[in-house]
Amino acid sequence: MIVLASDHAGFKLKEKIKKYLQKLNLEFKDLGATDTNSVDYPIYAKKMALYMKDRAETKGILICGTGIGMSIAINRFYYIRGALCKDKKTAILCRQHNDANVLILAGRNKGTMLHYRKIVKAFLNTKFLGDRHQRRVDMLIDLAKEQN
């Protein structure tokens, strides 16, 4: 399952990504926003995090204007590892090395839809390498839990 969410600045890209996921016959859930009217991005990051809490196999795609606000908000949850990716290579590496479970995109970037499709596809199809990387991911989880 893939869960999607955006603020107003990421809404148009989210809608395009939904069409791409439909074309790939992938199951997804849209948590909003529902249009381009101004909303607060932390609300949608929280919705995604709470939805994903007991769904370990779920991956998220989260979009705001720059991707930075969503990155800050979503990574407040110990079980989330959100990665702002601007190209295919970072999408692959965040999955392989960090076991990222949320892909964060910038809706106001000038990238083409083909560019975004490559990022999404790489994120969804890349496996976590585990091994030495698992130790580091465990350390990240421990750090986040210490803050709660």
Q: Please give the average per-residue pLDDT across 91-120, as a whole number.
A: 94
pLDDT value, residue 105: 98
- Evaluate if residue 112 carries a pLDDT over 80: yes
pLDDT at 146: 78
- Residue type for position 25: N
Alpha-carbon span 70 to 32, nearest angstrom: 14
Which alpha helices (H) appear in 53-126, and where do they start and end? 68-74, 88-98, 113-125
pLDDT tens for each residue of 47-103: 999 999 999 899 999 999 999 999 999 999 999 999 999 999 999 999 999 999 999
- In this prediction, residue 121 carries a pLDDT of 98
Question: What span, in angstroms and rounded, lies between the C-alpha atoms of 96 and 132?
Answer: 11
What's the confidence (pLDDT) of residue 136? 87
The pLDDT of residue 134 is 87
Looking at 3.40.50.300, 3.40.1400.10, 3.40.225.10, 3.40.50.1860, the CATH number of the domain 2-147 comes to: 3.40.1400.10
Say if CB 2 and CB 59 are below 8 A apart: yes
Q: What percent of the chain lies above the pLDDT cut of 90?
A: 81
What is the 8-class DSSP label of residue 54? T
Which residue do the tokens 């989260």 mark?
Answer: 62
Q: What is the number of H-type helices and E-type strands within the chain?
A: 6, 5
Mean pLDDT of the chain: 94
Q: Is the pLDDT of residue 144 over 80?
A: no
DSSP letters spanning 29-40: EE----SSS---
97 assigned to active site: yes
More confident residue, 8 or 56: 8
Where are the chain's structural domains?
Answer: 2-147
Total-model pTM: 0.94
The residue from 8, 97, 115, 133 that is catalytic is 97
Taking the C-alpha atoms of residue 78 and residue 6, their distance in angstroms, rounded to an integer, is 20
How many C-beta atoms lie closer than 10 Å to residue 145's C-beta? 10
pLDDT of residue 148: 60
Nearest residue to 40 via CA among 8, 88, 4, 3: 8
